[in-house]
Every structure is written in C-alpha cells, then in structure tokens.
Amino acid sequence: MHLSNRKALVTGGGRGIGRSISLRLACEGCSVVINYVKNRQKAEETAKEIKKSGHPVHVVRADVAKTGDAKRLIETAYEKLGGLDLLVNNAAVSFFQAWDEISEETWDRTIDTNLKGAFFCSKYTAEKMIASGNGGSIVNISSTNGRVAETDVLHYNASKGGLEMLTKSLAIELAPYGIRVNAVSPGLIETEHAMAFLKDPAFREHYSHHIPLGRFGSPDECTGAVVFFASEDSSYITGQSLVIDGGLIADQCPKLGTE
C-alpha cells in the first residue's frame, strides 16, 4: 500500500496501459477517477474491478483534446475525490500514416490529445494542488517514440517528443510548490491497440531480434514505475523519464538471429 489514501486521476484509464495503471493504483491504496472519451463499457468494467478492492472509484467522460473538457474533468475529479494527489496523463491516440498522407485534421487530433491535453490537464491539476498546499505528483505516459523516431507515425513521434520536454519543463516550473513531474516511456507493449501490428508474424519475428529481452511487454509491467514516481520512494526525483522497453532502444545494432 505505497499510496494509501491518495487520490488519483488516470486519463484514458479504462483500457490498455491505462486500465492496468488504474487497477494497480487502487491496489496500492488510491481512490481513482477513470477518464474515458469513447469506450464507456471498458471504463465501467475497470471500475467494477476496482470496487472489489473497496476503494472509491468514479468514471468520467471527457475529451482531453478539448481544453474545456480537460478543465471540467479536473474539477469533477477533484470534487468527487475531495482532492487530487496524483494525475496520470495516459490518454493518447496514434494513426499509422506516411508523412505525406498526414492531414491537418489527423495532425491536430494527435497533438491536441497527446500533448495539449497533457499540458492542460497538468495545468488545471497543478492549480488545485498549489491551492491545497500539499504538493503532489504528475506522471506522463510517454513512449520510446519520444526518444527515437519510427516510420509512418511522424505526428505521434512529435507528440511524444514534446511530452518528454513538457515533463522536464513542468518539473522545474512546479518544483517550488512540491509538485513532482516525471514520465514513463513504454516500448512495444501488448495492448488492444498494438495488436493490429503485433499479431503480424513477420513483425513479431523482426522484433524478436531487436528486443534484448526477446519479447513484448505487458501493460502490467508499466505500472510499477507509475507507483514509484507517485510514491515517497521517489521524493527527490523530478523531471525524469523511465524507459520500459526490454532494452529495445539501448541496442543500436541488434545481433542477427541464429538458425
């Protein structure tokens, strides 16, 4: 129970990595608000699991890409929980498109959700935390794409690169108020969204030679870092990003597979 009696909001917290984070935070003692924008069923299913732990949980619909929605989400979460100690900016979108096929609409949707949404949710949460005088923690769910580029997701790469710098910038701005800001950067994780390409045998074979640990990660393997950054175990850590990728981006020249 590293986070006993803490109050947390997880954007995009109903499925994928967000679901695992929501469940883990509840197990660690948090009351949780789960945000979703489209899939209410998944959010409600996650909330049902959390209720088994005996901790309060609420489901709130809001599109973090819209500033008005982001503000309403933070105010609603604060009201329902009676405060906020932790914000996890997890909501994100990605679209596979060649650089010359990216439309303005797709570009805006990606940047507005992944970067602008994280900033304004952080801004409104920080204002609440500063007013309370109790400090707090913000954890951004970034990606290895924020450090190394990948083809056909230029807009996603740009949004996550921006999120990495947003993490550092907010960390120095909010440090005087006792608010720590860090990021968790997953690599190839087996989520519902990722299965569109992870189920391709050729893709799996290719990356089996590129991930030193020899496998893809699970959403649950991303949650320990979030708990660490949210807890007092990391009380002197801010502005940092922890990569969870099985060693993928550490290996510049992967060995070829053997027969």
Q: Looking at 36, 124, 156, 207, which residue is catalytic?
A: 156
**Does this model's pTM top 0.85?**
yes
Judge whether residue 120 has pLDDT over 80.
Answer: yes
What pLDDT does 152 receive?
92
What pLDDT does 196 receive?
66
pLDDT in tens, 138-182: 999 999 999 999 999 999 999 999 999 999 999 999 999 999 999
Least confident residue range of 66-70, 215-219, 221-225:
215-219
What pLDDT does 151 receive?
92
Active site residue 156: yes
Average pLDDT over residues 205-228: 91
Mean pLDDT across the chain, nearest whole number?
94
191 vs 36: which has the higher pLDDT: 36
For domain 7-250, the question of CATH label 3.40.47.40 is answered with: no
Banded pLDDT at 230 (limits 50, 70, 90): very high
Q: Domain limits of the chain?
A: 7-250
Judge whether residue 184 has pLDDT over 60.
Answer: yes
Judge whether residue 14 has pLDDT over 60.
Answer: yes
Judge whether residue 195 has pLDDT over 90.
Answer: no
- Mind spelling out the 3-state secondary structure of the chain? CCCCCCEEEECCCCCHHHHHHHHHHHHCCCEEEEEECCCHHHHHHHHHHHHCCCCCEEEEECCCCCHHHHHHHHHHHHHHHCCCCEEEECCCCCCCCCHHHCCHHHHHHHHHHHHHHHHHHHHHHHHHHHHHCCCEEEEEECCHHHCCCCCCCHHHHHHHHHHHHHHHHHHHHHHHHCEEEEEEEECCECCCCCHHHHCCHHHHHHHHCCCCCCCCECHHHHHHHHHHHHCHHHCCCCCCEEEECCCHHHCCCCCCCCC
What percentage of the chain carries pLDDT values higher than 90? 84
Banded pLDDT at 205 (limits 50, 70, 90): confident
Banded pLDDT at 254 (limits 50, 70, 90): confident
What pLDDT does 186 receive?
97
191 vs 230: which has the higher pLDDT: 230
Judge whether residue 256 has pLDDT over 90.
Answer: no
Judge whether residue 237 has pLDDT over 80.
Answer: yes
What pLDDT does 202 receive?
82
